[in-house]
Amino acid sequence: MKKLIASRIGAFYYDDGEVSPFEFDEKASHMINSYPSRINSASRIKYPMIRKSFLTNKDKSLRGKDEFIRVSWQEAINIIHEEIIKAKGHIYAESYEWGGIGQVSWGRMCVQRLMRVLGGAIFEENDYSTGAALAMMPYVFSSKVVYERPTDLKAICNNAELVLFIGANPLVTNLISHDVPLHEHYKYYEILKNKNNIFIDVYANESSKFLNAKNIIINPNTDSALLISICTFLYENNLYNKEFIKKYCTGFDEFKDYFLGNNDGVKKDFAWASEICKIEQSVIKNLALQLANKKSILILGRSIQRQANGEFNYLAAISLAAMLGHIGKDGLGIEFNLISGCKGESVKNVKKIKDLNSIFPKITSNDIFIPTSRLQEALLNPNKAIKYKEEEIILPDIKLLINASSSFFTHQPNTNKSIKAYTKADCIICLEPFFTYDAKMSDIILPVALEGEREDIAISSNKEIIFALKKIKDDFYEAKSDFQICKMIAKSFNKSYEFCKNLDELDIVELIYDDLKNEYKKDNIYLPNFNEFYEKSFVKIPSLKEQESYTRFKDLKNINLANEKISKMGLNAYAHYKKADEFCNNYPYFLVSPHSKYRLHSQLDNSDIAFKINNKEPVYLNSKLAKKHKIKNNDIVKIFNHRGAVLCGVVIDESVKDNVLILHQGAWFMPDENGICQNGNANVLTSSKISSIISCSNIAHTCKVDLSLFKSAE
């Protein structure tokens, strides 16, 4: 019989090896087809296991090379208990972040709650996705802005004449979502096909192709130069909205002095940008004129802020949008939050669903926060003072790592540095369904149940459908849910009451459902009782359907284009373009590592939907570069720099900028005996430097490499 499964790659039915789409998914993703091969993957972890030399004498030197010994759950919990006591005050528990789903048993949430119940731990502030932007926005607007309710696609379709996508590939990045995606955005992208769409990217990405859009193919890491040169043009030709600038913007005069070159003698005009961006001046001018004459919205992806000085790329785009003066007008201006979560239309009167944390009383604990993506740095340099925003912080001394839902070796830039960093920890505990490199580098591995093997409750990303996640198949060997594992650890400290009032998953699922049901009842919206919901596996919340379109920044107060506090940090706040080359060693090509349509980060790389060329992750490059290196489609190439090397399979794509290699992030790290990754994990090559001290965030998209032919295709 068909059973419903809800996940971050979508909801779908599963019946004895067969997958079929969920009826309310408006365009089910191909990713759901990964499920059968994934649940039965040979790489799954079956039992709790402990690294042999850790078990015998706590030796760290064989981490990553050692064999694992099967232990009972009780033995594993006993050892974890002792290690937690030993490392108190030095435990890192961020568990960043995309494995699993659910309001009760999402690994990241469970581990964080467990550690807070036990007194606190070390966590990270902001995130890998938009770390630079999240830290920058309070200096520009009055709040973090990025994840606030977005101007939705419905409003854009109704109002915009020109949609400018900057480093954004929303039809790929909306395949997945934190909550269950229903892909309601497609119908709006169908409407957008009739508009004027322009993509600024390093290649003609999938979304651009879908919209049949115009492409401006840019030299990576130079978007702010392009955007600033348009500001100069608008200013000099009196084509900008003076009233908007006067009413809402501070710092414009300083910014103007910068783009006119009043202080440094360099006018930031089309000639200047053309040289930096490697785009013809006429193309930039044409874009500038269109922006000046059409009602537009700038849709920003996140890639351009996951770069050296990425904070300023967002600022440059905001400055341009401010000069265009559409911010706050229906469906126009600028938007940062259409990259995942679908967000076709805003649904009225949504009540917030609770989770394991919010359904129980809040726990206060002594937590320490480091900036996002600084774990490696903290492990290698405990007690080091680093500059962060306007202050100095001391990196904590980490002795124990506990990870659930996290793939550090594919998500953190500079994998070989990560390997060195991991040798510093005394103990590493990993809750994982699969034998990833993270699992291999751990001391204690605990097998985790996947969707379909545990009970939970989840909501769709548009908040219209509540899903019951059910156990629809037998236990996978000894795998348990993250919730069950964390509850067992809490219990070993006599803290399971604080963790979950001693309740089981299904009891908490019922509490969460009933809480939501009661909230809706206050608005005369009636949900079925829990048993009926659970029996059916999902419920569509009635009467929410009156969908409105929404535009943000209606209550805009101020945009600060050159915040003094940033200048006080030693960074030039009004110089919105900053060279990225200085961050890179002298290799000929930029490596860009976007998010793959075949994966959720590293997840699904071990499924049969993974797209490989000669068993390697594909690298996309254009024929000019291929000719230069005498390589052809399907050849295996080595991509390298001073940080390491990876092997990839060649795909020639004419649209890729001629100094760029595109290698999607997330291929599992599989080093040979010389440390060369046989599977093409992009982060072997990327730099772990910080974007700037404003955020100390990662710069995965600022990376240079070289390549050579490794093996010709037959």
Ligand X SMILES: Nc1nc2c(c(=O)[nH]1)N[C@H]1C(S)=C(S)[C@@H](COP(=O)(O)OP(=O)(O)OC[C@H]3O[C@@H](n4cnc5c(=O)[nH]c(N)nc54)[C@H](O)[C@@H]3O)O[C@H]1N2
Binding site for Mo ion (CB under 5 A): 129
Comparison of 280 and 535: residue with beta carbon closer to ligand X: 280
Q: Does the protein bind ligand X through residue 276 (CB under 6 A)?
A: no
511, 136 in Cβ contact below 8 A? no
**What type of residue sits at position 123?**
F
In angstroms, the CA 302 to CA 542 distance is 34
In angstroms, the CA 88 to CA 121 distance is 8
Residue 94 binds what, of ligand X, Mo ion, none (CB under 5 to 8 Å, by partner type)?
none
Comparison of 7 and 551: residue with beta carbon closer to ligand X: 7
To the nearest 10°, the Cα dihedral for 176, 177, 178, 184? Answer: -150
Residue 151 binds what, of Mo ion, ligand X, none (CB under 5 to 8 Å, by partner type)?
none
Token pair listed for 73: 């759950």
Residues near 687 by beta carbon (within 8 Å), at least 6 away in sequence: 413, 414, 583, 584, 643, 699, 702, 703
Least Å distance, CB 252 to ligand X, is 25
Least Å distance, CB 105 to ligand X, is 7
To the nearest 10°, the Cα dihedral for 640, 646, 647, 650? Answer: -60
Q: Does the protein bind ligand X through residue 304 (CB under 6 A)?
A: yes
* Helix segments in 344-481, DSSP class H: 375-380, 408-411, 415-422, 437-440
Q: Does the protein bind ligand X through residue 335 (CB under 6 A)?
A: no
x/- mask, ligand X, residues 113-132, rule CB under 6 A, reads ---------------xx---
505, 105 in Cβ contact below 8 A? yes
Comparison of 53 and 130: residue with beta carbon closer to ligand X: 130
Q: Binding to ligand X (CB under 6 A): which residues in 43-102? A: 96-100
Comparison of 319 and 407: residue with beta carbon closer to Mo ion: 407
Q: Binding to ligand X (CB under 6 A): which residues in 500-539? A: none
Q: Which stretch binds ligand X (CB under 6 A): 299-307, 343-351, 504-512, 517-525?
A: 299-307
Q: Binding to ligand X (CB under 6 A): which residues in 142-201? A: 166-169, 172-173, 175-176, 200-201
463, 350 in Cβ contact below 8 A? yes
Q: Which stretch binds ligand X (CB under 6 A): 44-52, 146-154, 430-438, 562-570?
A: 430-438
- By CB under 6 A, name the one of 53, 197, 205, 229 that touches ligand X: 205
Q: Does the protein bind ligand X through residue 378 (CB under 6 A)?
A: no
Comparison of 43 and 250: residue with beta carbon closer to ligand X: 43
Residue 704 binds what, of ligand X, Mo ion, none (CB under 5 to 8 Å, by partner type)?
none
Strands ordered across the beta sheet of 3-7: 3-7, 10-15, 18-21
Exposure string for 560-581, b = 16+ CB within 10 A, e = fewer: bbbbeebeebebbbbbbbbebe
Q: Does the protein bind ligand X through residue 287 (CB under 6 A)?
A: no
Q: Which stretch binds ligand X (CB under 6 A): 137-145, 271-279, 432-440, 470-478?
A: 432-440
C-alpha of 377 from chain center = 20
Name the β-bridge partners of 505: none
**What type of residue sits at position 47?**
Y
Token pair listed for 670: 């599989």
Please work out the total of residues on this chain that contact ligand X, with binding judged by CB under 6 A. 63
SS3 content of the chain, % helix, strand, coil (to 5): 30, 20, 50
The SS3 assignment for 236 reads helix
Phi, psi of 303, deg, nearest 5:
-60, -40
Q: Report the residue closest to ligand X, judged by CB.
A: 99
**What type of residue sits at position 192?**
L
- By CB under 6 A, name the one of 153, 356, 431, 690 that touches ligand X: 431
Phi, psi of 539, deg, nearest 5:
-140, 140
- By CB under 6 A, name the one of 273, 448, 541, 705 that touches ligand X: 448
Q: Binding to ligand X (CB under 6 A): which residues in 31-50? A: none
Least Å distance, CB 405 to ligand X, is 4
Which residues would be at the binding site for ligand X (CB under 6 A)? 96-100, 107, 128-129, 166-169, 172-173, 175-176, 200-203, 205, 218, 220-221, 223, 301-304, 306, 339-340, 404-407, 410-411, 431-434, 436, 448, 482, 592-597, 599-603, 665-666, 682-683, 686, 700-701
